[in-house]
Amino acid sequence: MTAGPAWWQRGAIYQIYPRSFADSDGDGVGDLPGITGRLDHIEALGAEAIWLSPFYRSPMADFGYDVADYRDVDPVFGTLADFDALLGAAHARGIRVVVDWVPNHSSDQHEWFRESRSSRDSPRRDWYVWHDGDGAGGPPNDWMSEFPAVGRAWSLDEATGQWYLHSFMAEQPDLNWDNPEVEAAMHDTLRFWLDRGVDGFRVDALQRLAHDPLLRSNAGAARRRDQDWETMHDRLRGIRRVTDEYEDRMLVGEVAIDDLHRVVTFLNDGDQLHLAHNFVFADLPWSAEAFALSIADFEALASGVAWPAWFLGNHDMPRVATRFDGGTGLGPARARAALLLLYTLRGTPFVFQGEELGLPDAEIPADRVVDVDGRDPERAPVPWRPPSAAGPGAGFTTGEPWLPIVGAAEALNAETQAADPASTLSLTRRLAALRRATPALQLGAQRALRLAEDVLAWERSADGDRLVAAVNFAAAPVALAAVDGLPGRAALVVSTDPARAGGDVALADLALGPAEGVLLRL
Ligand code: NOJ
């Protein structure tokens, strides 16, 4: 007998960016009670789990990814009691809760860093990465911040005359994971949330947890020395051991490495991550060939225990509907095709809030820009109701939203789409329900098919149930050629084009519209 899927394999994991999801108290910033109040939406989406971006105490230099207390909720998001209420309410509906864990850096306002920077003799000095400069007034080496606007990854602390490492903003000093005390303290922060009942963690900036202990420059090195050092794997095994002290928990890593050979090293032995966000895939251009190659690459490199995780959007990258438009006007249709792809590929889909609505990026006027790295457009609040009925806050807030509401809110809000069977929201619900009801779409085998130029196609099968998915990447219609041993006729189960009729079709007669995706049952 084969075992059924783990919960984190079965269906989609829905990413919530709490600041922008739902505001319960009118301060213009989303909060935890706001999420609890919108669990109907998540349940109707058939999400297996939610992943919450950080809601911990934070001065918000990086909107929560600068944590000042790993064990408390920031007042703007609510209280620990609000968190427990959300967790209980989600669990009561069978929705798992994954929280973001930011182990590479804390806020510069964290008491650990305040102590660390207070003097060279501080018992916590070695909790962060301090070093003398290069002797010529410059930093210890050539490492750069992930954010181009920040520049170098070092800042000088005038008072103690040494530099500290920050892979992101200066307000986000890197913790020193070479120090076992730091490792133990961070493990305890995991236990804090595991004891409260969370189902897993999304590990932020994972590849940054290990760098060259000699702090040598990157220049001239065959491989970068500021991240993904070999010590990474033992470090990760330690984290996995902590989560394995509890039953049925999951670790997904933000593995922002553009080399799949490296990415699979975190998955292939089954003792590190359960899932790794595949940034090679997320960064692909809209090309059937590129997608096909990337999927095949992962399959070729992955071991039997490695399970794929697919995503095309998050709070750090332009939204799918905008990114894949490329001036064709097909962005919205491609966003629908992308959803079909995510829900029907073999692997766990990660869906970022608003993707189920086909939201494009919002336009952010210069005087409303708040993020250091240009990520405001994809972080615009979720429009829940038409502004004409709910006011300018579109049901997200009764106050002034912290970022502008997307211009298309009147048509693309959740309430309007829920009432329209042709909407992207209705399509997403159908795809999720199909996946839930179809073992072949969960653990089923996958075989790549070549049905036509510019068409990405694959078969999923289990226990005699065979489904074929096909997505037309071209901006023009493409006729399918029935090849690869497929039967002549199939049942069209779902199309991303609401005008397409379902039912029995002859494969040889099937032409996919521009950006159309279909799912067929053989
Ligand atoms: C990745 C997060 O997704 C991003 O939003 C954040 O700025 C960096 N890590 C730093 O924590």
**What pLDDT, in 10s, does the model give residues 175-228?**
999 999 999 999 999 999 999 999 999 999 999 999 999 999 999 999 999 999
Q: How far is CA 513 from CA 111, 115, 476, 488, in A?
A: 57, 61, 7, 20
Pocket perturbation via mutation, ligand 1, pick of 202, 227, 316 by most ligand atoms within 8 A of CB: 316
Sequence-ordered list of residues with C-beta below 8 angstroms from that of 14, at least 6 positions apart, any chain: 42, 45, 47, 49, 50, 51, 350, 351, 353, 356
- Provide CB contacts within 8 A for 513, sequence distance 6+: 472, 477, 497, 500
3-state secondary structure of 383: coil
> Cα separation of 8 and 6, whole Å?
5
Is 204 part of the annotated catalytic residue set?
yes
Let me know if the fold of 7-106+179-213+223-433 is the same as that of 107-176: no
Architecture of the 444-521 domain = Sandwich (2.60)
Catalytic residue among 204, 316, 355, 356: 204
Summarised one tens digit per residue, pLDDT across range 39-55 is 999 999 999 999 999 99
**Of all atoms in ligand 1, which is nearest to the CA of residue 102?**
11
In this structure, are residues 420 and 306 in contact, taking their beta carbons and an 8 Å threshold? Answer: no
Q: Which pLDDT score is estimated for 1?
A: 40
How far does residue 205's CA lie from ligand 1's centre (Å)? 7
Q: What are the tokens at 237?
A: 């095994």
Q: What percent of the chain has pLDDT over 70?
A: 99
d(CA 237, CA 254): 16
Measure 352 CA to ligand 1 centroid, in angstroms. Answer: 15
Q: In what order do the strands lie in the sheet with 309-311?
A: 275-276, 250-253, 200-203, 96-101, 49-52, 13-16, 348-352, 309-311
pLDDT tens string 71-115: 999 999 999 999 999 999 999 999 999 999 999 999 999 999 999
Instruction: Please say whether the structural domain 107-176 has been given the CATH code 3.40.50.300.
Output: no
Of 23-37, 251-265, 312-326, 482-496, the least confident = 482-496
Q: What local confidence, expressed as pLDDT, does residue 181 receive?
A: 98
Compute the residue count for the chain. 522
- 19, 55, 62, 373: residue to mutate for ligand 1 pocket, most atoms within 8 A of CB: 62
For residue 3, the model assigns a pLDDT of: 77
- Paired strand residues for 469: 458, 519
pLDDT value of residue 309: 98
Average the pLDDT over 276-300 and give the result. 97
Judge whether 132 counts as a catalytic residue: no
Radius of gyration of the chain (CA): 23
pLDDT at 278 over 80: yes
Q: 80-92 and 180-196 are packed helices; what angle lies between their axes, rounded to 10 degrees?
A: 60
Q: Where are the domains of the chain?
A: 7-106+179-213+223-433, 107-176, 444-521
Tokens of 471: 């997505």
In angstroms, how far is CA 500 from the centroid of its own chain? Answer: 31
The tokens describing 303, both together, are 């071991």
Q: How many CA atoms lie within 13 A of 359 on its CB side?
A: 30
- DSSP states of 21-75: T--SSSSSS--HHHHHTTHHHHHHTT-SEEEEPP-EE---TTTTSS-SEEEEE-T
Return the CATH number of the domain spanning residue range 7-106+179-213+223-433.
3.20.20.80
DSSP H helical ranges for 66-153: 80-92, 111-118
In this prediction, residue 69 has a pLDDT band, given cuts at 50, 70 and 90, of very high
Per-residue pLDDT reduced to its tens digit, 368-398: 999 999 999 999 999 999 999 999 999 999 9
Protein residues with CB under 6 Å of any ligand 1 atom: 62, 65, 102, 168, 204-205, 254, 315-316
Instruction: Tell me the C-alpha distance between 73 and 83, whole Å.
Output: 8
